[in-house]
């Protein structure tokens, strides 16, 4: 039996026509992970969610790793990018869309990091991004490296957002009180005079609103895209922008 689930038949050759499919199983597993976290996902639990037995579930997915691969690929979605003709605008759109997906499925940042399997949705996304970068003339391996930088930035930013949200929940404080406590702490740091550059950073973030998560994400994404543009320029013109 092939180890990659997408190389195997959708259902076994024996037995009656199945009443369920991989998509329905993946959706049920995603719903559990969204509500309770990835640790709550098991073959037995998902079988119960769809109203069957664990032994019956194995007709569709041979092992839990297959289930996780289906979940990751389904969560990434099958949305199609309509290229605008502006690679930077399109990659910016992709970056924001990825952030939305990671925030909608908090378990995905962890699951995707250690799951290199290329399912249909992930393949379509990769092909779309390679198509956007093709005019750069960069070797395909370097284009992949740039895509990895973009994806890693988005995933890392969202992981930080989720960790911050978890810290607030675990503190037992309201979000307003937690932020008020953090503001009091940063004010004390500024007043100490020990960290002048860090204090200036706090002032700038407060003044410009860059501490806002949406603004911070957009600023970081712009920096990533500037790096891609600079590398593109080196190849095309022999010098960075």
Q: Is 73:120 a contact under the CB 8 Å cutoff?
A: yes
| Token couple for 14 | 């024996």
Instruction: Output the tens digit of pLDDT for each of the chain's 241 residues.
Output: 678 888 887 765 555 555 678 999 999 999 999 999 999 999 999 999 999 898 888 888 988 999 999 999 999 986 677 889 899 999 999 999 999 999 999 999 988 877 777 899 999 999 999 999 999 999 999 999 999 999 999 999 999 999 998 999 999 999 899 989 999 999 999 999 999 999 999 988 888 766 688 989 999 999 999 999 999 998 877 655 4
DSSP state letter for 79: P
Question: CA gyration radius for the chain?
Answer: 22
For 29-70, what is the HEC assignment? Answer: HHHHHHHHCHHHCCHHHHHHHCCCCHHHHCCCCCCHHHHHHH
Domain 5-76: which topology?
A: Arc Repressor Mutant, subunit A (1.10.10)
Task: Say if domain 87-172+209-237 classifies as CATH 1.20.1250.30.
Answer: no
For the chain, give every residue range classified as CATH 1.10.10.60.
5-76
Q: Is 193:200 a contact under the CB 8 Å cutoff?
A: no
Q: Is 40:8 a contact under the CB 8 Å cutoff?
A: no
Give the separation between CA 180 and CA 175, rounded to whole angstroms.
Answer: 8
For the chain, give every residue range classified as CATH 1.10.357.10.
87-172+209-237
Distances (CA, A) of 174 to 127, 158, 214: 43, 21, 21
pLDDT score, position 12? 54
Q: What is the pLDDT of residues 191-232, one digit of tens each?
A: 999 999 999 999 888 887 666 889 899 999 999 999 999 999
Q: Is 63:3 a contact under the CB 8 Å cutoff?
A: no
Q: Which helix (H) or strand (E) element contains residue 234?
A: helix 213-237
| Token couple for 187 | 């004010």
Q: Is 235:138 a contact under the CB 8 Å cutoff?
A: yes
């Amino acid at each position: 039996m092939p180890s990659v689930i997408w190389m195997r038949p959708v259902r076994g050759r024996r037995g009656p026509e199945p009443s369920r499919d991989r998509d329905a199983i993946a959706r049920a597993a995603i719903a559990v992970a969204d509500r309770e976290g990835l640790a709550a996902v098991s073959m037995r639990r998902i079988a119960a969610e769809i109203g069957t037995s664990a032994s019956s579930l194995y007709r569709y997915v041979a092992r839990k790793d297959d289930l996780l691969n289906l979940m990751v690929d389904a969560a990434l979605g099958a949305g199609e990018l309509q290229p605008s003709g502006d690679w930077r605008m399109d990659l910016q759109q992709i970056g924001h869309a990825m952030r939305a997906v990671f925030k909608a499925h908090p378990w995905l940042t962890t699951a995707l990091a250690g799951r290199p399997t290329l399912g249909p949705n992930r393949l379509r996304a990769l092909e779309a991004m390679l198509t956007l970068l093709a005019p750069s003339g960069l070797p395909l391996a370097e284009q992949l490296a740039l895509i990895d930088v973009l994806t890693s930035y988005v995933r890392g930013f969202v992981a930080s957002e989720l960790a911050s949200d978890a810290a607030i929940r675990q503190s037992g404080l309201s979000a307003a009180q937690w932020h008020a406590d953090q503001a009091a702490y940063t004010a004390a740091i500024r007043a100490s005079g020990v960290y002048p550059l860090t204090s200036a950073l706090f002032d700038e973030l407060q003044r410009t609103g860059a501490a806002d998560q949406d603004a911070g994400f957009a600023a970081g994404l712009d920096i990533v895209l500037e790096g891609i543009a600079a590398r593109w320029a080196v190849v095309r013109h022999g010098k960075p922008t």
